Structure 1
Amino acid sequence: ALSTLLKLRVWRNGKEHYMEFSGGDAIKPLEIVGDAPITAEGKPLTGTEVTFYPDTEIFTQTVFDLPTLEHRLRELAFLNSGVILTLRDERGGEPVESQLHYDGGIRAFVEYLDRNKVRQIEEPVSIVGEKDGITVEVALQWNDSYHETTLCFTNNIPQRDGGAHMAGFRAALTRQINSYAQATGIVKKEKVNLSGDDAREGLTCVISVKVPDPKFSSQTKDKLVSSEVRPVVENIVNDRLAQWFEEHPQDARKVVTKVVEAASAREAARRARELTRRKGALDISSLPGKLAEWSERDASKAKLFI
């Protein structure tokens, strides 16, 4: 429906199948047009090739941006560990080709996002679980920055506004960090309350869920609203994080210490703001233009009118 012409080729069971669409309608039915090519391994080729021409009456921009395509394909390569994606641009004089392949999955994704930052822990925390038909993958680590970077995906589709999976992750993360900080006595020593923002300062995280029938807030799928996803993500992350804290006490202490420092800085900033406000409220140095501050020190030369 978004193309003036779309050509579909499918190589399957040793045969090549072909079909054409225009404006959302099939103009050539699916038919076998020949045998599938033989690969270098001596086997018939399998796969799908889609060629399409975007409709200029629908899209204002029909020239594809190479960095944008590479960014999206890199996301897919991280989200689907082991898959090899090849991007080839033949529009210029010399073809430009890049191959995207990552065996580490979203754990490698987090390392890629933090490639220019100082890590607070040796290796990213990796969480994988499945419940009620929902598969959950989470990778996270902390760095020396003050900003949070959390990327959310549902069935490989990005959600820039987060949603149920992000809410479940954040709830579990805050709970476990508070629990560990209380158990180790770090919070009592520093006398601060840890918030979710403190726990996520300097955090880099990738959340990927596979949901059979996901529901989104809009057609652009920017926010996941499937209510059943949050408890699944929250329970899995809660259990796996508790296990990680127990098995990695040194890294756990580094993380909690960083969170406590963030909370202390937040409290110090709050106290400074309150002090400034009180000082401003008590400041009486500002007088009307016809009056001036009293500067005479000799009481015999001064009078007070009430």
Structure 2
Amino acid sequence: MAETGNPSQSANGHEYTASHIQVLETHEAIRRRPGMYIGSTGERGLHQMVYEVVLYAVDEHLAGHADAIDVTLTSDGCVRVTDNGRGVPVEVKEPGGKSAVERELTEPSFGSGPHTGYRVSGGLNGVGLCVVNALSNRLTAEVHRDGHRWTQAYEKGIPVTLLTRNEETDQHGTTIAFWPDADIFETTHLSFAALSERLQELAFLNGGLTISLTDERPERPVRYHHTDGLRAYVDRLKPYPPSLVHSPAIAFESENQDETISVQAAMQWNTWSQGEFRSFANGTRTHEGGMHEQGFRTALTDVVNHYARRQGHLSANDEDITATAVQEGLTAVISVKLAHPVFEGATRTKLGNLDAGAYVHEVVSQHLTDWLHRHPHEATAILRRILNTAI
């Protein structure tokens, strides 16, 4: 990262020289402009630090190598995240070079995934751990891999110890413990409620993954594990008292032939509430939507109208049912995972991948159409609910 001197001086010509250019080390650049990387230095940015480390562990789960993540908030302000994956690689490629652990914690890759080469990555496109390290007063990495326990310590993004090989072990996995820097953040107090909500969300999005959260300030452990995935998520989001048009929720998933995009979706109509819709991309909530949402909503409206006309609920002269009527009373969750996500803005709240929108439209059209034909009684009840809204 480079910064320049006063622009007015450069306008005078000879006063602007190479001496005005300041080259910052990666950790210095991150510490100087933290909002560019985690959105803010308030509570939102503080919690994003935790999510970045957790999402790195989720990547191990998505790669098929981890099924448990433990998050602990300690009494001295530390956040400790442990997974039972393979462990971050520890080898050094060149003589005298950095270990793979140190590269993960100090070098941003800005690629489609971290240095360890995940096909799908949920963090900040390869810079997550690097950012967390730079914005922490202290950070320790403990890796169980290659028959030993390995450790290394950092301060404000700078290694203060070498990667050390310790005793032999047959365990595997990674533990990242960090203390957010009070000189960077407006507060270093983490909300148990906010973390609990987000971690449960990740458990819904990644069926079969167990995520535990323990707060030692005082102690209050919770554990999340949902084998039913998004269908369980929809069940949690449904209004109370429930008044369902059909049960269970419609759920399906699919992955494209190139294995670059996968889609999971679940939806359920109820009779009285307005409903709720949530979308995610690589585990991150896309509050502003994006192409995957657009593909879902368009396909949903198209399928309902096509089915209604084929079943005689709409005549040739009737206008199409509106998207608003179709979505009234619908609780739905859609989650896409992409090898090459394109997010709009540093806070990653809107997905811009055109191919994601097209694939979601294709998947929803195929699977929802098939479900409606295989469940005619439930389909009729859904259409009746929608048509009553449209009147």
TM-score, normalised relative to structure 2? 0.63
Paired AA for residue 68 in structure 1: A
Once the 2 structures are TM-superposed, how far is the Cα of residue 61 of structure 1 from its aligned partner?
2.1
1:128-207 equivalences in 2 (<5 Å):
128-131=253-256, 132=258, 133-188=260-315, 193-207=320-334
Q: 1:232 aligned to 2:356? A: no
Q: 1:45 aligned to 2:176? A: no
Once the 2 structures are TM-superposed, how far is the Cα of residue 20 of structure 1 from its aligned partner?
1.8
Match of 1:208 in 2: 335
SS class of match (2:137): strand
Match of 2:153 in 1: 20
Q: 1:124 aligned to 2:124? A: no
Paired AA for residue 263 in structure 1: A
Find the partner of 1:75 among 201, 214, 229: 201
Once the 2 structures are TM-superposed, how far is the Cα of residue 192 of structure 1 from its aligned partner?
5.7
Once the 2 structures are TM-superposed, how far is the Cα of residue 184 of structure 1 from its aligned partner?
1.5
Say how many residue pairs are matched: 255
Paired AA for residue 14 in structure 1: G
Tell me how far apart the structure 2 counterparts of residues 64 and 145 of structure 1 sit (CA, whole Å). Answer: 36
Match of 2:212 in 1: 86
Match of 1:34 in 2: 167
Answer whether contact 1:187 1:260 (CA < 8 A) is retained: no
Percent sequence identity over aligned pairs: 32
1:228-267 equivalences in 2 (<5 Å):
228-264=355-391
Match of 1:10 in 2: 143
Answer whether contact 1:165 1:230 (CA < 8 A) is retained: yes
Answer whether contact 1:192 1:263 (CA < 8 A) is retained: no
SS class of match (2:379): helix
TM-score, normalised relative to structure 1? 0.79
Tell me how far apart the structure 2 counterparts of residues 115 and 194 of structure 1 sit (CA, whole Å). Answer: 24
Tell me how far apart the structure 2 counterparts of residues 28 and 139 of structure 1 sit (CA, whole Å). Answer: 48
Tell me how far apart the structure 2 counterparts of residues 146 and 71 of structure 1 sit (CA, whole Å). Answer: 22
Cα RMSD of the aligned pairs, angstroms, is: 1.7
| Residue deviations 1:128-173 (CA, integer Å, cap 9, x gap) | 1111421111111111234231111111111111111100000100
Shift in alpha-carbon separation, 1:229–1:75, aligned structure 2, 3 A: same
Answer whether contact 1:153 1:208 (CA < 8 A) is retained: yes
Answer whether contact 1:16 1:35 (CA < 8 A) is retained: yes
Answer whether contact 1:177 1:199 (CA < 8 A) is retained: yes
Q: Which runs of 5+ in 2 are unaligned?
A: 1-133
| Residue deviations 1:97-153 (CA, integer Å, cap 9, x gap) | 111111111111111111622211111111211114211111111112342311111
Once the 2 structures are TM-superposed, how far is the Cα of residue 14 of structure 1 from its aligned partner?
2.7
| Residue deviations 1:199-258 (CA, integer Å, cap 9, x gap) | 000111111111001010111100111111100110011011110111011111111111
Q: Which runs of 5+ in 1 are unaligned?
A: 37-43, 265-306
- Of 222-231 and 15-24, more deviation after overlay is shown by 15-24
